[in-house]
Amino acid sequence: MSLNSSNLEGPANLLAIVVDIPPHLMLLECGPHHYLNSVLAFANLHLGASVNRKLCIVAATHTTTEFLYPPLYPDDQRVRQKDGRLEQLQCLDECVEKRLKELMLHQHNPVNGQANGCSSAAQPPDSLLSGAMGRALLFLRRHIGSSKAASNTARMLVLKVAGESVGQYLNYINVYLTAQKLGVPVDVCCLMTDCGLLQQGADITGGYYHKLTEVRISCGMWRPQSLLQTLVVLFSLGSWGGGSGKGGRSGGVVALPPPDTVDYRAACFCHRALVNMANVCSNCLSVYCKTVPLCSTCNVFFPIEMPMKRPAKKRR
């Protein structure tokens, strides 16, 4: 298959990568190096394909969200050329490495040797992925302007490691509706388990959802063996490439496999669980898996139908 250089360059393509960094990321067989190096190599490929391309990387942990790239301060962009590499790519590597070290030091709590905000006995909390996606949308909105033609060149790629984040259901929906209004497709790549909420976002915004299936498990450790290959084939050649197909499914240089059936179950507001059938508030559309007398969102009382009493028989 021959690739035209114009297919890879195209207009000023904008890409926002949202990286999930949960507390249990150390369960990787080779540590988090394989996961983060694959993301960094994919980012280098995106920037190196054309000088017109722009990139931002946002990391999401269980306590905060931080920009890994571009640099926050102008002094961090002054990088001298080494070993014949492009200054922009070297700046990307050094900036991401520096910000990751600062983020890890901030997350670690020396007291009792435990992670900040997470107990060793308790289940680790979910990553603030919806907040990181919101910050990535702000970066894309700042650069795409108000032109509809320019908005078609912006995309978002979400890398999810942990499972479902049902507690952030409303935040996810707000991000999806905003991305749909801006014309920004949201591509999702899940590494361990499927995430129905992210699958909904990819379908709503016209993006592509994929779950890595080649995961080798040994001694409680897991390793995504084909992460970089998946990112390059599905989310670079399949999504970009000069075309303007809906969500990049028909606009790339390679044909993507058809998407799976989307799980459109909603999350209840009382137990934060995905439900098939539920009660819906007629005022604010809040979802409850059980009958409740009062809506916790808008404080509206629900009329509860009492069983009808049979009239007493008259004595003769």
3-state SS class at 183: coil
The predicted model scores a pTM of 0.78
Asked if residue 215 has pLDDT above 80, the reply is no
Whether 187 and 208 have beta carbons less than 8 Å apart is answered as yes
DSSP 146: T
Instruction: Please identify which residue in the block is written with the tokens 């979400």.
Output: 158
Distance CA 203, CA 306 (A): 42
> What are 254-274's pLDDT values in tens digits?
777 777 778 788 888 887 788
Instruction: Please identify which residue in the block is written with the tokens 């996606």.
Output: 133
251 or 75: whose pLDDT is higher? Answer: 75
Mark out the alpha helices in the chain (DSSP H runs): 5-9, 33-49, 87-107, 129-144, 148-151, 169-182, 196-205, 227-232
pLDDT of residue 121: 41
**Mean of the pLDDT values across residues 231-251?**
60
Instruction: Please identify which residue in the block is written with the tokens 């590494």.
Output: 191
3-state SS class at 305: coil
DSSP 291: -
194 or 122: whose pLDDT is higher? Answer: 194
For domain 5-248, the question of CATH label 3.40.50.410 is answered with yes
φ and ψ at residue 200, rounded to 5 degrees: -65, -40
What ranges do the domains of the chain cover? Answer: 5-248, 265-316
> What are 112-122's pLDDT values in tens digits?
344 454 444 44
82 pLDDT band, cuts 50/70/90, is low
